[in-house]
Amino acid sequence: MRGEGLYLLRVSNVARLRGLGSSLLRAQQAGIVGVLLTLGIGLALAAGSHPDRVTGVPVNNFLNAYTLIQMATDASGIAIMGVGATIVIISGGIDLSVGAIYALAGVVMAMVLRAAGPMDPGATVLLGLTVCLSIGALSGLANGLMVIGLGVHPFIITLGTMWMLRGVAFVISRAESILVPPALTSVAKASLGLGTALYPVPLLIMLLVTVGGSIYLERTVMGRHVFAVGGNPEASRYSGLSLGRVRVGVYTISGLTAGLAAFLGAAFYGSATSSDANGY
């Protein structure tokens, strides 16, 4: 009896694992994960290796902590904006202006901090973050209001605002690169104990934004409204949803993420210019 019970338990566990594997393969993200894994394996095999300076143990030139954290840090701004853009796309829209919002928010922040003069480091960081988020939110709000107010496709609206916002950044900055205070750089480049060459703060903020975006879409009522509006606008309207409010909201969120990315980018690199995030 005991042997039969163990056999049934094993069969149950195997069936459970097969079911889990089948569910993972059917998931929407399975294809993307597969492509990334294939690309990572290819890069690791092609990159070669070098001996560690301390231990002498061979270290893969790609598959090591330094390279991976550095890559994630460099991509954090794009990934943060990608969260906001994802929400817009799910709602059935598109936002081509995120790169221009990034540039404008960074330039305005740098100019405001330069005009404000020396301040306490904490106040400097708070003022810079507030300016970036405000510019991003206002730009996103303007996009949303024009999309619902003018009745023009969001591709056309955001294509226009992309050029307009970058043009404003170009004019007010006179195409100059404006330095930001060292207090911002010290925050964005805090090593957090990983060593002087690794700066994980942008990566950690990217992860927080990604988790927050996932929770918003999957665990909140407003997130489900975004899916409903993007899936079937007419049915959503007949269900009592305010399509205009949802669309304005998603473009505002997209602008906020662009503003946050601008703050991190300007703080990390120490300056802001109207050509930042060109083509993003």
Nearest by Cα to 93 from 143, 166, 47: 143
With contact defined as beta carbons under 8 Å apart, do 148 and 244 qualify?
A: yes
Higher per-residue pLDDT: 69 or 231: 231
C-alpha span between 76 and 200 (Å, rounded):
10
Indicate whether 20 and 101 sit together in one domain: no
pLDDT at 244: 92
C-alpha span between 109 and 172 (Å, rounded):
12
pLDDT at 73: 85
Please, which pLDDT band fits residue 128 given cuts at 50, 70 and 90? very high
Indicate whether 229 and 121 sit together in one domain: yes
Asked if the structure places residue 238 within a domain, the reply is yes
Angular region, 192: left φ>0, alpha ψ -120 to 50, beta rest? left
With contact defined as beta carbons under 8 Å apart, do 135 and 109 qualify?
A: yes
Which residue range(s) make up the domain with 40?
Answer: 1-62
Does residue 183 surpass a pLDDT of 80? yes
What is the 8-class DSSP label of residue 102? H
Which residue, 9, 35, 62, sits at the end of a domain?
Answer: 62
User: How confident is the prediction for the chain on average, in pLDDT?
Assistant: 88
With contact defined as beta carbons under 8 Å apart, do 199 and 268 qualify?
A: yes
Asked if the structure places residue 182 within a domain, the reply is yes
User: Who's near 36: CB < 8 A, 6+ residues apart?
Assistant: none
- What total number of domains does the chain contain? 2
